[in-house]
């Protein structure tokens, strides 16, 4: 009997489909990797199972990247299994090829990526000469209720209906590959022209994201702090005292002289309550001091609705702001709550809405929260769920239930499963989602917003106005879910009578300075990525990107982590700081005239064209031809650049030339002496900006020129692309009569190269080598076994004097050698996150090296036993 094979994107969806189809098509038997009955075989991928790659003859291994092998524009793409998913892929392919499977149903997520996952699996299952030719239908689901699934099977879409989406999905994937591979290899080849291997990655999403961070940092660096003054006055009314701040009622932001500002004051710094001239500010303060004021007041009712449900980006943004979780951490926690605990719906979503048939499910979820014995602080939410049910708050609200705003997935909400045994971090995230879920159905919070103007008439005639704002919470509404039942004390204003005359209790003149814009955090960068389309001037492109932004909710965290991993950005606390390598990349792309790689317009243009393709208005061939042309243009620009340096905004170092005391300036590739005047050829001193493929930060090169040594530094790469750590030194070259940069790997490496034994007779040994029982001594930048630097070398034990910026003293090494580990050391700095961490150093016998050992976590207090239910 012939059967249809249903391929879902995830195992959980396959199970939902089986549960929905059982009443109408009969019971399913469960096998190791699928479910089966008389009519259907149901299986699933686990996301992407295969990836595209260039045919073997086009694949150039890293380390051999050069312009000779570029551009790479293969005539077609081969497929390769993703390593961790090979077993699942083979199982699905076996089912696709089964003789009794005569048709296929694509039940992957309703969107471009779901279409791509299915199409690549089917392509991989066949061959170029013998493709899979079984009829294909498409299940298009926006809701996962059993009835919605059954309805979806009643309205399966034809393969022909889906060809536009399939073409767009393949084209987006191949275009990303072509631009990423050619851009990365061309920029790497350009930067590696002078030797070495300087990996310079670019991509359609990562490079505009990095550009956003670099442009903000450029504004911060160029910011000129300006002095301004504010005037605050205390007033006494019959009912009590209050404070007002001077402001200009005639202020207009776009007026060059707005608020008394000078024309050169940037618009972003202008405010109606700022004065830019101290004499003017002092004159106003003196003029109103001691004089009474007359009060006018306007009070208006105001409402504030709960924010919408969470999509992944909003959840990541708020978890970063509240708890400091990275976007990657939040995604991992949400994924665990979805997959492991089954208490949240699918988290990789860009929708903040629910399907219109989900009202009954929401009521059931409220019931679960109201009645289940939730752990710890979550218990307090039960009363809000009970109130919501009692008051009938759960209604088919358009701001919550809207099929037109649900694409592949709907908003993140709690499931009907009550949580058990969550970690502290998981519980924090679950609490956020449950509160937002309950609050969105509660009524709006109601306020009374008061604006009070106190006018002081001076003896000379001019009248000055002082403003006071108040906001009184009348009805908490949804804020009750967050524990805000009553008004904050500091928001209450003392009452005044209409036209009341108030006394002037004192005037303060406050000197202030403007601040540069804030650096991006992960929360604000996620917002910028999500709203990147707003930066685009072209109406059509902006509209095409309106729902997309840079990347997808599921990939934004990965993009940020990738930029940190490639040393384009560092985490400093919660701030993201672009490195010298990031500035160099932006300078390069701008200088080569391939700035479109740095702008979100590239994504906007692609999204516009892919939408046209989905609707059959643009052919896949036309789009891919334009992408191939773009890849070739990027390579051509880099290959043919023939000037000495890339134009850019370069620094002048504070530290003088070590050879002649002249001015050292930066250009694209080097730091070079420009003589005492700063505009001549100088004395010839010059060092590369990127020794060993690692960019100098400005602070590092200043220190290096001053001390003539620095390190050990991490992040260097060999010619083959392998990472290594080393010190750098400036050595005087007798032949050129100038200083040159050299790597310093320590005396041990030098001695080993020269085949000489090292004399340790003037040192006390620190202890016995844990590998060969020889003696360990201090040597160069390491502590080494005497037999590791002997001739011949018979041992390889050594450990650094500085490990991840943490100095390791002789006393600690002695302790390590005698007891097996050091004391707890507190100032290690992670290469990946740039955050400090604590650890012991311990000798690992199995690995034969010194490694980290972390403090055991404190035991959790035993859980309180729940009271027995009646």
CB atoms within 10 A of CB 836: 13
Angle at 273 between CA 271 and CA 279, to 5 degrees: 110
Q: What is the dihedral of CA 323, 324, 327, 333, to 10 degrees?
A: -40
Residue whose C-alpha is closest to residue 131's, from 146, 141, 121, 117? 121
* Residue 135 three-state SS: coil
According to DSSP, residue 306 is labeled P
First-to-last C-alpha distance (Å) of the chain:
53
Q: Which two tokens stand for residue 760?
A: 């340790």
Q: What does the DSSP 8-state code read for residue 102?
A: E
Q: Phi/psi class of residue 379: alpha, beta or left (left: φ > 0; alpha: ψ in -120 to 50)?
A: alpha
Question: Which tokens go with 245?
Answer: 């701040």
Q: Is 682 left (phi over 0), alpha (psi -120 to 50) or beta?
A: left
Which distant-in-sequence residues (6+ apart) come within 8 Å of 186 by Cβ?
67, 70, 71, 634, 635, 638, 639
From the list 97, 103, 107, 99, the residue with the least C-alpha distance to 43 is 107
3-state secondary structure of 774: coil
3-8/40-44 β-pairing: parallel
The token pair at 25 is 């098509």
Residue of 228, 310, 346, 777 marked catalytic? 346
The two beta strands, 463-475 and 445-457, are antiparallel
Which tokens go with 390? 């009692």
Cβ-in-10-Å burial (0-12, 13-18, 19+) of 27 comes to exposed
State how far the alpha carbon of 431 is from the alpha carbons of 214, 337, 411, 524, 747, in Å: 35, 11, 16, 22, 56
DSSP assignment of 26-39: -PPEE-SS-EE-SS
Q: Please, which contacts does 331-336 make with residues 24 or more away whose CB atoms are closer than 8 Å?
A: 331/554, 331/557, 333/425, 333/426, 333/429, 334/412, 334/429, 336/426
Contact status, residue 827 vs residue 843, Cβ threshold 8 Å: no
Coil, strand, or helix at residue 181?
Answer: helix
Q: How far is CA 662 from CA 673, 699, 709, in A?
A: 6, 18, 19
Q: Reduced to 3 states, what is the DSSP secondary structure of residue 191?
A: helix
In sequence order, the 6+-apart residues with CB closer than 8 A to the CB of 293 are: 233, 235, 244, 454, 455, 456, 466, 501, 502, 504
Task: Provide the H-helix boundaries in 472-535.
Answer: 522-530
CB-based contact 641:652 (threshold 8 Å): no
The secondary structure of 528-585 as a DSSP string is: HHHTGGGG---HHHHHHHTTT-SS-HHHHHHHHHHHHHTTSEEEETTEEEE-HHHHHH
Q: Is 346 a catalytic residue?
A: yes
The CA distance from 433 to 334, in Å, is: 10
Distance CA 50, CA 86 (A): 9
> Which residues have a catalytic role annotated?
346
């Amino acid at each position: 009997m012939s059967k249809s094979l249903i391929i879902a994107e995830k195992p959980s969806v396959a199970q939902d489909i089986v549960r929905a189809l059982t009443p109408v098509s009969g019971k399913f038997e469960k096998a190791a990797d699928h479910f089966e009955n008389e009519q259907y075989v149901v299986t699933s991928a686990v996301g992407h199972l295969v990836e595209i790659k260039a045919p073997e003859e086009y694949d150039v291994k890293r380390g051999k990247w050069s312009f000779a092998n570029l551009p790479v524009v293969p005539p077609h793409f081969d497929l390769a299994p993703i390593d961790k998913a090979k077993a699942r892929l083979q199982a699905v392919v076996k089912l696709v090829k089964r003789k009794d499977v005569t048709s296929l149903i694509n039940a992957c997520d309703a969107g471009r990526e779901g279409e791509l996952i299915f199409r690549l699996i089917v392509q991989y299952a066949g061959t170029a000469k013998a493709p899979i030719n079984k009829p294909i239908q498409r299940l298009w689901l926006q809701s996962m209720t059993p009835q919605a699934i059954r309805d979806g099977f009643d309205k399966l879409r034809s393969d022909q209906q889906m060809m536009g989406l399939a073409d767009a999905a393949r084209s987006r994937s191949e275009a990303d590959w072509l631009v990423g591979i050619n851009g990365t290899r061309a920029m790497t080849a350009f930067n590696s022209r002078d030797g070495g291997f300087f990996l310079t990655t670019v991509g359609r999403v990562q490079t505009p994201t990095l550009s956003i961070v670099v442009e903000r940092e450029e504004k911060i660096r160029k910011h000129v702090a300006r002095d301004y003054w504010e005037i605050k006055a205390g007033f006494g009314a019959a009912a009590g005292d209050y404070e007002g701040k001077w402001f200009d009622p005639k202020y207009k932001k776009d007026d060059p002289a707005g608020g008394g500002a000078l024309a050169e004051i940037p618009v972003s710094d202008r405010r109606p309550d700022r004065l830019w001239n101290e004499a003017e500010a002092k004159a106003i303060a003196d003029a109103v001091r001691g004089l009474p004021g007359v009060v006018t007041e306007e009070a208006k009712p105001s409402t504030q609705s709960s924010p919408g449900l969470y999509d992944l980006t909003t959840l990541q943004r708020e978890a970063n702001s509240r708890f400091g979780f990275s976007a990657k951490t939040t995604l991992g926690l949400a994924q665990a709550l979805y997959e492991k605990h089954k208490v949240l719906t699918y988290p990789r979503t860009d929708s903040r809405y629910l399907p219109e048939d989900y009202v009954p499910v929401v009521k059931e979820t409220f019931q679960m929260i109201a009645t289940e014995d939730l752990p710890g602080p979550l218990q307090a939410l039960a009363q809000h769920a009970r109130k919501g049910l009692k008051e009938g708050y759960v209604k088919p609200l358009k701001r919550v239930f809207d099929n037109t705003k649900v694409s592949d997935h709907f908003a993140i909400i709690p499931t009907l499963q009550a949580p058990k045994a969550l970690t502290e971090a998981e519980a924090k995230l679950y609490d956020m989602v449950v509160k937002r879920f309950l609050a969105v159905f509660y009524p709006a919070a109601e306020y009374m917003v008061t604006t009070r103007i106190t006018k002081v008439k001076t003896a000379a005639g001019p009248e000055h106005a002082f403003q006071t704002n108040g906001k009184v919470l009348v009805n908490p509404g949804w804020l009750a879910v967050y524990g805000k039942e009553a008004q904050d004390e500091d928001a209450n204003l003392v009452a005044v009578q209409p036209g009341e005359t108030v006394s002037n209790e004192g005037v303060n003149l406050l000197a202030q300075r403007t601040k540069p814009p804030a650096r991006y955090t992960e929360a604000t960068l996620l917002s910028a990525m999500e709203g990147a389309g707003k930066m685009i001037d072209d109406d059509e492109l902006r509209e095409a990107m309106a729902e997309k932004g840079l990347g997808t909710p599921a990939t934004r965290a990965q993009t940020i982590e990738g930029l940190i991993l490639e040393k384009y950005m560092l985490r400093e606390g919660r701030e993201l700081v672009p490195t010298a390598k990031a500035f160099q990349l932006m300078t390069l792309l701008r200088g080569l005239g391939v700035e479109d790689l740095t702008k979100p317009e590239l994504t906007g243009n692609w999204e516009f064209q892919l939408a046209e393709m989905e609707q059959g208005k643009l052919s896949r061939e036309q789009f891919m031809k334009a992408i191939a042309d773009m890849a070739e243009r990027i390579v051509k620009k880099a290959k043919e650049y023939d000037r000495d340096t890339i134009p850019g905004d370069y620094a002048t170092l504070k530290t003088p030339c070590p050879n002649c005391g002249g001015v050292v300036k930066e250009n694209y590739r080097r730091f070079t002496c420009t003589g005492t005047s700063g505009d001549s050829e100088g004395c010839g001193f010059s060092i590369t900006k990127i020794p060993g493929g690692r960019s100098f930060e400005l602070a590092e090169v200043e220190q290096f020129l001053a001390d003539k040594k620095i390190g050990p530094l991490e992040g260097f790469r060999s010619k083959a692309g392998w990472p290594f750590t080393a010190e750098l030194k400036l050595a005087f070259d007798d032949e050129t009569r100038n200083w040159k940069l050299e790597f310093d790997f320590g005396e041990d490496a030098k001695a080993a190269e020269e085949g000489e034994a090292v004399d340790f007779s003037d040192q006390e040994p620190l202890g016995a080598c844990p590998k060969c029982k020889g003696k360990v001594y201090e040597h160069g930048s390491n502590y080494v076994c005497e037999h590791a630097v002997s001739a011949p070398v018979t041992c390889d034990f050594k450990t650094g004097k500085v490990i991840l910026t943490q100095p390791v003293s002789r006393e600690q090494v002695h302790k390590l050698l005698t007891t097996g580990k050091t004391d707890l050391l507190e100032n290690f700095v992670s290469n990946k996150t740039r955050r400090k961490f604590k650890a012991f150093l311990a000798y690992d016998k199995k690995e034969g090296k010194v490694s980290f050992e972390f403090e055991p976590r404190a035991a959790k207090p035993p859980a309180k036993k729940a009271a027995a239910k009646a």
